[in-house]
Structure 1
Amino acid sequence: MTMQLAGSTNIRQKDGYVTSEMDGELVMLSVENGKYYNLGIVGGQIWQLAQGQGMTVAEIVARLVSEYEVTESQCEQEVAAFVEQMEKAGIIAVER
């Protein structure tokens, strides 16, 4: 079950990860635990958007909807599922 994220929820990268592009997809390595993560194309894009001060969920969804053929509702669900996984892994900060 995916969590509910408000549009104003901010998503921000945590430090300690090295990223690289492989075959168009973003992969990253945790410096702390040595684990690799394949973020895929869209997940990599969300990671890039979450740099610095990060972006709100609404801003991320708007950006993805403008670039991909996806409904806003479907995009919100997919972003929420991805963010939930990334938060559980300790990769991103979710500021509600």
Structure 2
Amino acid sequence: MELTATGTEGNLHVDDFVGPLIGESEAKFYAASDEHTVTTDLPQDALMVTELACLVKGIRGNGLKPEKKWPTMSRKTQLVLDVVKASIERGFEAVEVGN
């Protein structure tokens, strides 16, 4: 699944938005015309499960408070997905991202 986001300060293009096509430990994206590669030791799915396990362990085992960034990150992710869906439903026309 490809994703292209166009904004006032440039473009972002991802060839493998849902999952890396070139390997489990590497993904590429393009900002403007520059290619960037992100590498990891584990596949993104495993990293998500590891992060969740660490957060739960910190709260249950060490009495830490939940990190405040996750509700914000989750909301921003959902906003982007809502805009992509709205664009598809409107025949792939441009849709602005709300707050």
TM-score (norm 2): 0.28
Please tell me whether Structure 1 or Structure 2 has the larger radius of gyration of its CA atoms: 2
Compare relative contact order (CA 8 Å, sep 6+) and give the higher one, 1 or 2.
1
What TM-score results when the alignment is normalised by the length of structure 1? 0.28
